């Protein structure tokens, strides 16, 4: 009798990846009215204590602010990544590998409230870089330093995950594993929500999770801050 794990024993190979259908988001950007906001580093390191919980009903945010789709995903024993899309049908506008293990992030979210602050320093004034195009940030989760967040271009694996989740605007779960040859070393956990994107200034943006059903439903409350100071 042959080895039961060989193809001759009838092992069904994994299905091929779905063909890419994500599209590029529109390059046009709405102009935001300038606001004067003083960003104090110590304030954001104590966010769990002093930051108010923001709950915004479904639809467009207050003042017509745009919504974006944010996905946290990662292998069980690997680091978690954040992908931000204009909507679930588009190629991510931002992918950041966070300095935090997937299991640790899930534990923080299970506590009910998570504040992630990504901070970077201002560079040469002559080199104007959009805040979300900064290559590296110091990462704080509920006020505790968790290493660095590193921006990267969307990889084939990132796009594969976004394709699988294309029909989902909000939810959480586990995606089936791929073989090591394809670059996946186990099951992929994911958590996806809609966010209200608030641009305070060229040096300060916030993503507020939109989940009016969260109150009393054991759903997490998540905000992500991008700060350049």
What are the pLDDT digits (tens) for 10-59? 445 555 555 678 888 765 444 443 333 333 333 334 333 323 333 333 33
> Could you give the count of Cα atoms lying within 13 Å of 27 in the half-sphere of its Cβ?
0
CA–CA separation, 83 and 88 (whole Å): 11
Rounded to the nearest angstrom, the gap between the alpha carbon of residue 15 and the centroid of all alpha carbons in its chain is: 27
In angstroms, the Cα distances linking 195 to 17, 26, 34 are 28, 18, 21
Is residue 90 classed exposed, middle or buried when 0-12, 13-18 and 19+ CB atoms within 10 A define those classes? Answer: middle
Residue closest to 138 by CA, chosen among 227, 70, 75? 227
Res. 154 pLDDT band, cuts 50 70 90: very high
pLDDT tens digits, one per residue of 50-98: 233 333 333 344 445 679 999 999 988 889 999 999 999 999 999 999 9
pLDDT of residue 83: 98
pTM above 0.75, yes or no: no
User: Residue 154, SS3?
Assistant: coil
Distance CA 199, CA 147 (A): 25
Question: Which ranges in 68-225 belong to alpha helices (H)?
Answer: 102-110, 156-164
């Amino acid at each position: 009798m042959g080895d039961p794990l060989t193809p001759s024993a009838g092992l069904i190979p994994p299905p091929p990846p779905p063909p890419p259908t994500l599209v590029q988001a529109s390059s046009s950007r709405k102009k935001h009215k300038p606001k004067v906001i003083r960003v104090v580093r110590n304030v954001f390191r104590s966010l769990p204590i002093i930051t108010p919980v923001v709950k915004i009903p479904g639809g467009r945010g207050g003042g017509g602010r745009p919504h974006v789709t944010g996905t946290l995903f990662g292998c069980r024993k690997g680091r978690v990544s954040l992908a931000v899309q204009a909507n679930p049908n588009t190629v991510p506008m931002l992918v950041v590998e966070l300095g935090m293990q997937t299991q640790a992030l899930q534990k923080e979210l299970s506590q009910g409230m998570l504040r992630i602050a990504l901070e970077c320093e201002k560079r040469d004034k002559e080199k104007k870089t959009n805040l979300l195009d900064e290559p590296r940030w110091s990462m704080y989760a509920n006020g505790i330093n968790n290493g660095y967040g590193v921006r990267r271009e969307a990889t084939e694996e990132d796009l594969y995950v976004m394709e699988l989740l294309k029909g989902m605007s909000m939810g959480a779960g586990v995606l089936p594993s791929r073989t090591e040859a394809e670059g996946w070393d186990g099951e992929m956990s994911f958590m996806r929500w809609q966010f209200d994107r608030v641009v305070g200034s060229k040096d300060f943006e916030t993503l507020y999770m939109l989940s009016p059903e969260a109150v009393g439903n054991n759903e997490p409350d998540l905000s992500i801050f991008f700060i350049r100071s």
